[in-house]
């Protein structure tokens, strides 16, 4: 039985200011999310620097759909279904590489980088069934690049990437697409025992900085809370400006003056944008992190994190930038393991249905530690899924 | 070509690698650092098949590491203990008899407070030691991880 707390009994909290615990645990809700969100919206799959040369490819997945992202001879980036048209085998099993064609290991069917089936061994055997290579191309998905970020949409309809992003990346306009391009130097993936939304909440929840000893020291007093400003964009994206970091407040850390900040940023600047549904772009003066929460099941999420520096910079500068990255982010950092702990810890209650609901009710006029980012996320989630995230009455019958 | 260390040094290196693991397992970082040279450098690396290059995931000198470990009581962490099972594969001496290197494999097991044990990570230690006035200290450790999915991640040296 759920033990109702006072605010739940009073039922006076606006429905936009809490979410039902069942949205993290329900198999049906998860299937709806995959179908109506992940199969329809633009998904960030990699950074352009991971595909610098013609023939370079990366494999990834969107909510269980295996993909090959590849740069063709025309330098265009395309995304192909990583499933052989013949017997359904995974064609490419390595994370990256360079090739002119993809050959399935099973029966040696081969595809070019545009997904055209270019070779079937002993094709005459299919003549009786009217099957030829022209019928067997790989599915190709809409792929576009913005500011160096490669996005894929599994859906054939929906907005263009330009419309989808709107002005959400303006805060980084000078960073990823400026004259000094960025490149990925760090990538790590971790399977979290958590719903994907629980991870996203760690990025959307400004109030949770109390959890991080490093943020208590470097961030909460670095600039007035009133300087912070939440900004909303079309399609559920949101960001925050006005955040600062006094990194010298941690013993043995520098104030980040030993290397050039990223273009357009001061060393103390901290900006982030959350792209609905599952990507976060975060810059801390000298270094950038991009993370994507890839849903596997209601209770499992692949967290994929990237660190980015300035392309072509001297090794000594890169080493400093990596050091800055690893202070907050990466598997041995001070902050990221705490966020992952929070996501898994909360899941241990959501997942068993022991949490009736959670509050997202802080109001600070879009400054300070307002929960407006969380409410904006769940408004977009409701619009996409058609499910009321505060559907407590389902429990009351 | 590197020379094989003398049997006495071989034993001392093997013992010190074991002691260092014991210190880390106990989270006695002061004792760990006592066994490290003042110029100690610690690094954790992993190869990324996605990027097709090596990555540095942690790089700290002795004082930096000491400061981070002092902050540990304030970090939010999984209540669990680690056990490092280590096997020294080879020990060699450089041009100077005061410098020794060791390559070891390790498996780190994590035991939760519920008693459940799981494999956290495996990889290799590439250690460099200095011997001065009969005292052996660790001056550099590069931990090269095979494991790249570390779940939540960890706040301590592996």
Looking at this predicted complex, what is its ipTM?
0.95
Do the Cβ atoms of B67 and A190 come within 8 Å?
no
- Burial class, A393, CB count within 10 angstroms (exposed 0-12 / middle 13-18 / buried 19+): exposed
Q: What is the pLDDT of residue B2?
A: 47
Q: Which of residues 134-153 of B touch A (CB under 8 A)?
A: 148-153
**A388, A396 Cβ separation under 8 angstroms:** no
DSSP string, A309-326: EETT--HHHHHHHHHHHH
At residue B4 the predicted structure's pLDDT band, cuts being 50, 70 and 90, is low
Residues comprising chain A, all counted: 397
CB A264 within 8 A of CB A271: no
**Is residue B3 scored above 60 in pLDDT?**
no
pLDDT digit string (tens) for chain A, length 397 residues: 556 778 777 678 999 999 998 899 999 999 999 999 999 999 999 999 999 999 999 999 999 999 999 999 999 999 999 999 999 999 999 999 999 999 999 999 999 999 999 999 999 999 999 999 999 999 999 999 998 999 999 999 999 999 999 999 988 877 655 545 899 999 999 999 999 999 999 999 999 999 999 999 999 999 999 999 999 999 999 999 999 999 999 999 999 999 999 988 999 999 999 999 999 999 999 999 999 999 999 999 999 999 999 999 999 999 999 999 999 999 999 999 999 999 999 888 877 777 778 899 999 999 999 999 999 999 999 999 999 999 855 544 3
Chain A CB contacts of B78 under 8 Å are 341
- Closest CA relative to residue A354, chosen from A126, A118, A24, A75: A24
Is the previous residue joined to B59 through a cis bond, with omega within 30 degrees of 0?
Answer: no
Between CA A17 and CA B103 the distance in angstroms is: 56
Q: Determine the distance in angstroms separating the CA of A49 from the nearest CA of chain B, rounded to an integer.
A: 9
Residue of A nearest to B75 (CA): A213
CB of A294 within 8 Å of a chain B CB? The answer is: no
Would you call the peptide bond into A277 cis, given omega within 30 degrees of 0 as the criterion? yes
How confident is the model over B115-142, as pLDDT tens digits?
999 999 999 999 999 999 889 999 999 9
Chain A segment 120-159 residues within 8 A of B by beta carbon are none
The strand order across the sheet containing A101-103 reads A101-103, A110-112, A117-119
CA distance A57 to chain B (A): 9
Residues in A closer than 8 angstroms to B114, CB to CB, are none
Question: Does any CB of chain B come closer than 8 Å to the CB of residue A191?
Answer: yes
Tell me which H or E stretch contains A174. Answer: none
Residue-wise DSSP of B25-54: HHT-HHHHHHTEEEEEEEEEEEEETTTTEE
Which two structure tokens, joined as six digits, stand for A46? 């990699």
The C-alpha angle A187, A42, A53, rounded to 5 degrees, equals 50
Is the minimum CB–CB distance between B8 and chain A shorter than 8 Å?
A: no
SS (H, E, C) A23-41: HHHCHHHHHHHHHHHHCCC
CB under 8 Å to A256, separation ≥6 — which residues? Answer: A245, A247, A267, A268, A284, A285, A286, A324
User: What's the pTM?
Assistant: 0.95
Question: Is A252 in contact with B78 (Cβ distance < 8 A)?
Answer: no
Of A213, A322, A331, the CB nearest to B75: A213
Give the separation between CA A316 and CA B56, rounded to whole angstroms. 13
Give the closest-approach CA distance of A208 to chain B in angstroms: 12
What is the percent of chain B with per-residue pLDDT over 90, rounded to a whole number? 87
Question: What percentage of residues in chain B have a pLDDT greater than 70?
Answer: 93
- For residue A151, the model assigns a pLDDT of 98
Residue A16 has what pLDDT?
95
Q: How far is B79 from chain A (nearest CA, A)?
A: 11
């Amino acid at each position: 039985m759920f033990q109702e707390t006072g605010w739940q009994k009073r039922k006076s909290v606006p429905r936009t200011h809490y979410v039902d615990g069942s949205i993290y645990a329900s198999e049906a809700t998860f299937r709806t999310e995959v179908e109506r969100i992940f199969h329809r919206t633009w998904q960030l799959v990699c950074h352009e620097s991971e595909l610098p040369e013609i023939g370079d490819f990366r494999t990834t997945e969107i909510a269980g759909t295996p993909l090959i992202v590849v740069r063709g001879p025309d330098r265009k980036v395309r995304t192909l279904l990583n499933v052989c048209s013949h017997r359904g085998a995974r064609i490419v099993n390595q994370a990256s590489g360079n090739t002119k064609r993809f050959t399935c290991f099973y029966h040696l069917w081969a595809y070019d980088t545009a997904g055209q089936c270019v070779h079937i061994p002993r094709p005459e055997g299919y003549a009786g069934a009217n099957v030829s290579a022209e019928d067997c191309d790989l599915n190709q998905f809409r792929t576009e690049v913005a500011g160096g970020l490669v996005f894929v949409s599994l859906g054939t309809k929906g907005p263009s990437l330009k419309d989808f992003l709107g002005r959400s990346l303006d805060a980084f306009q000078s960073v990823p697409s400026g004259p000094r391009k960025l490149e990925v130097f760090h990538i790590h993936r971790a399977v979290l025992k958590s719903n994907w939304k629980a991870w996203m909440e760690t990025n959307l929840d400004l109030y949770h900085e109390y959890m991080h000893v490093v943020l208590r020291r470097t961030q909460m007093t670095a600039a007035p809370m009133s300087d912070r400003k939440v900004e909303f964009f079309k399609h559920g994206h949101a960001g925050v400006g006005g955040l600062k970091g006094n990194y010298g407040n941690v013993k043995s850390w520098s104030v980040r003056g030993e290397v050039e900040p990223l273009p357009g940023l001061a060393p103390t600047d901290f900006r982030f944008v959350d792209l609905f549904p599952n990507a976060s772009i975060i810059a801390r003066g000298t270094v950038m992190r991009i993370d994507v929460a890839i849903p596997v099941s209601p209770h499992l999420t692949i967290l994929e994190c990237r660190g980015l520096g300035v392309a072509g910079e001297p090794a000594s500068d890169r080493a400093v930038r990596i050091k800055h990255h690893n202070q907050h982010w990466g598997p041995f950092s001070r902050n990221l393991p705490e966020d992952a702990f929070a996501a898994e810890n909360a899941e241990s209650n959501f997942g068993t249905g022991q949490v009736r609901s959670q509050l997202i009710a802080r109001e600070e006029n879009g400054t300070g530690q307002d929960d407006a980012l969380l409410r904006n996320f769940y408004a977009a989630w409701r619009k996409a899924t058609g499910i009321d995230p505060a559907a407590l009455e389902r429990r009351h019958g | 070509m590197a020379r094989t260390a003398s049997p006495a040094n071989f034993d001392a290196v093997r013992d010190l690698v074991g002691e260092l693991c014991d210190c880390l397992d106990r989270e006695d970082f002061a004792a760990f650092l006592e066994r490290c040279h003042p110029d100690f450098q610690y690094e954790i690396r992993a190869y990324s098949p996605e990027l097709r290059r090596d990555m540095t995931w942690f790089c700290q000198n002795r004082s930096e590491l000491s400061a981070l470990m002092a902050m540990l009581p304030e970090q939010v962490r999984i209540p669990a203990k680690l056990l490092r099972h280590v096997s020294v594969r080879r020990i060699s001496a450089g041009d100077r008899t005061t410098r020794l290197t060791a390559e070891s494999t390790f498996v780190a097991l994590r035991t939760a407070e519920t008693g459940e044990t799981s494999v956290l990570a495996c990889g290799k230690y590439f250690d460099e030691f200095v011997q001065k006035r009969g005292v052996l200290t660790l001056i550099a450790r590069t931990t090269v991880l095979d494991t790249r999915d570390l779940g939540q991640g960890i706040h301590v040296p592996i």
